[in-house]
Amino acid sequence: MGDSRVAEIAEKAKAWTLEAGARLALSHQEKLNVEYKTSAADIVTQKDKEIEQFFVENIKTTYPGHYVLGEEGLSDVLPTDTQNGVVWIIDPIDGTTNFVHQNLNYAISVAVYIDGDPTIGYIYDPIKKELFSAIKNQGAFLNDQPLSTLTSCRVEEAVICFNHLWLVPNEKVDYEKMHHLVNDVRGVRYLGSAALEMAYVACGRLDSSLDFRLSPWDIAAGIVILNEVGAEMTTLENQAINVFTKSSTIFSRPGIHQYILEYLS
Ligand code: 2AM
Ligand code: CA
Ligand code: CA
Ligand code: CA
């Protein structure tokens, strides 16, 4: 697909993302219906569904041949061959728990993958009005500010991001090794929005972000943005991430990435 066509799709994606964000920021005056998905820690509101529907309707009207993959499953079933065609990967609210409890620290994540290639990514925090964006090979931005290529940092200077479940007995990692890592780094933070955490690695607010179980809509836009700033990204087993499957993930500034992987092995 030519650059001008990509630019046109990116303009639409950006406009819809900003409009959806404005709607979410206003929705705090409304009463939220909180439903459980798999557990009380895994929730969805009517706003998640409304925002996903907003994207699906706009995309289907404007680009009838494009596919949509969204967390709340309001679009068509994706073809098994994701290497052909244009796929929009959307998380209408990433950080729904934060949306419900804090009214902040959540984001809309929108990506466009063209023939399997991570091409367009937007992560928008409508409360801070911060739009993280990238188009493949054209650099990444925070609003109009270009983001610099990430430089390496040492472990004792690193602020890393993961949740409390890593520090208690669990099926994924040796939690005692994680205790050593916690002792060695400068600080640990947990934001509660996987997409924003990736955006924060891209702009240097975090040095690494780790997660057990992310899905395509959590990471698709972040991957486009992180590619543009030279971040390292792998599964916890140091394999390449396949965006179309559920995976454990680490996204980091160079240098610190391999170091953390060694703690996990
Ligand atoms: P979500 O808010 O879109 O569900 C912390 O909860 C982060 O992990 C969020 O980015 C959240 O995305 C994501 N996440 C992925 N799978 C989850 C699950 N099963 N339960 C809660 N959060 C999940
Ligand atoms: Ca969810
Ligand atoms: Ca999510
Ligand atoms: Ca979500």
- Phi, psi dihedral angles at 41 (to 5 degrees): -95, 0
Q: Which long-range contacts (CB under 8 A, 24 or more apart) does 129-134 make?
A: 129/21, 130/199, 131/14, 131/17, 131/18, 132/199, 132/202, 132/203, 132/225, 133/10, 133/14, 133/225, 134/224, 134/225, 134/227, 134/228
111-148 burial by CB neighbour count: b if 16+ within 10 A, else e?
A: bbbbeeebbbbbbbbbbeebbbbbbbeeebbbeeeebe
Distance CA 38, CA 250 (A): 24
Q: Are 67 and 86 within 8 A, CB to CB? A: yes
pTM: 0.97
How would you write the pLDDT of the chain (265 residues) with one tens digit per residue? 999 999 999 999 999 999 999 999 999 889 999 999 999 999 999 999 999 999 999 999 999 999 999 999 998 777 778 888 999 999 999 999 999 999 999 999 999 999 999 999 999 999 999 999 999 999 999 999 999 999 999 999 999 999 999 999 998 889 999 999 999 999 999 999 999 999 999 999 999 999 999 999 999 999 999 999 999 999 999 999 999 999 999 999 999 999 999 988 8
Please state, in angstroms and as integers, the Cα–Cα distance from residue 28 to each residue in 44, 83, 99, following that order: 15, 39, 9
ipTM of the complex: 0.98
Beta bridge partner(s), residue 141 = 133, 146
Which residues have their alpha-adjacent CB atom under 5 A from ion ligand 4?
Answer: 71, 91, 93
How far is the centre of ligand 1, averaged over its atoms, from the C-alpha of 147 (Å)?
26
User: With a 6 A CB cut-off, is 192 part of the ligand 1 pocket?
Assistant: yes
How far is the centre of ligand 3, averaged over its atoms, from the C-alpha of 73 (Å)?
13
Q: Are 127 and 104 within 8 A, CB to CB? A: yes
How far is the centre of ligand 3, averaged over its atoms, from the C-alpha of 218 (Å)?
4
Beta bridge partner(s), residue 118 = 113
Most informative mutation of 47, 97, 200, 251 for ligand 1 (most atoms within 8 A of CB): 97
Please state, in angstroms and as integers, the Cα–Cα distance from residue 225 to each residue in 90, 102, 122, 132, 135, following that order: 15, 26, 8, 8, 8
Nearest CA-CA partner of 124 in 145, 139, 138, 109 = 109
- Structural domains in the chain? 3-146 (3.30.540.10), 155-264 (3.40.190.80)
Q: Are 87 and 113 within 8 A, CB to CB? A: yes
